[in-house]
Amino acid sequence: MTDEFAAYRRTVGGVSFTDVGEGPVTLFVHGVFTNGRLWRNCVQLLSHRRRCISVDLPGHGHTPPLGEPSVWGLADAVDTVIRELDLHDIHLVGNDTGGAVAQVVLTRDPQLFTSFALTNCDTEGNFPPPAFRPAVWAARAGLLRAAAPLAKRPKLGKQIYRTGYQDVSAVPDDVITDYLTPTLGSREGVRFMTALLSSMTPELLAPIRPGLSACKVPTAIVWGTGDIFFRRHWADWLVDLIPGASGVVEVPGARLFFPDERAHELVDALEAHWVSGQTGDETQRG
């Protein structure tokens, strides 16, 4: 696979990630059918003043299928990176299923985190969202293998990302290939994705609700309003649930993968969040 940050790629405990720049540790977590390259434009904007770590979750990008194929197993992989790199004072950012993974990671040890940020993502009660349920049903019916040819035909593969991007034609073909090859391009990848998608249920994230409802880590909710998967009311739900959340920053018309195609707007919102968080003291955490 191609990689803008190949020189900065590392692996710990079988989990691949890029580690670019110096400064406050900023950890990015992607969702299903993408990988750490989703954050490439954010990293380009931030890495001259922050240490940007973009994880490839199991079965995605450069990380092979490993561990339990569920949100809990994906969170274990992120925990592995945090533990092996001895990270602390982390600014955690999640998108899509990676937002659900980030919620799990945060609630396991909130003292490790200086700030938290969620973009359009899964939550308790919306996991998977209705618009994504056909993919889950297809996985449970054993039909993901039929999509394997898309991994070798990026222009056709782009069609399945049309609902997640405002202008998928502007996404480089190699990015789409890198998204699809690990998830659909091999039997092992298809088996892992089939199990991962099949594990999704609306109440799966219920066990972390107490942790989120007690979490005072300063939290930004940055939400694209044009997303068919994660409607605005789920952003409000998160604000009501998480004490550290201060409100919703809207990105008008943005769709699910706006961290890629509208990175400037996300980075502006994140930097405003980080600056405002500096006024708080250590008692705000956890």
Burial 175-210 (b: 16+ CB within 10 A, else e): bbbbbbbbbbbbeebbebbbbbbbbbeeebbeebbe
Burial-class residue 278 by CB neighbours within 10 Å (0-12, 13-18, 19+): exposed
In this prediction, residue 278 carries a pLDDT of 65
Distance CA 219, CA 242 (A): 8
In this prediction, residue 285 carries a pLDDT of 34
Cα of 43 vs its chain's centroid, Å: 14
Distance CA 3, CA 61 (A): 10
Q: Please give the model's pTM, rounded to 2 decimal places.
A: 0.95
Q: Which two tokens stand for residue 130?
A: 């209705």
Delimit the domains of the chain by residue range: 6-127+205-278
CATH fold label, 6-127+205-278 = Rossmann fold (3.40.50)
Q: Which two tokens stand for residue 15?
A: 């989990």
Residue type, 214: A
What phi and psi values does residue 82 have, to the nearest 5 degrees?
A: -60, -45
Distance CA 248, CA 219 (A): 10
pLDDT in tens, the chain (286 residues): 568 899 999 999 999 999 999 999 999 999 999 999 999 999 999 999 999 999 999 999 999 999 999 999 999 999 999 999 999 999 999 999 999 999 999 999 999 999 999 999 999 999 999 999 999 999 999 999 888 888 889 899 999 999 999 999 999 999 999 999 999 999 999 999 999 999 999 999 999 999 999 999 999 999 999 999 999 999 999 999 999 998 999 999 999 999 999 999 999 999 999 998 764 433 333 3
In this prediction, residue 111 carries a pLDDT of 97
Contacts of 248 (CB under 8 A, 6+ apart): 221, 222, 223, 232, 235, 236, 239
| Residue 93 · residue 270 · CB < 8 Å | yes
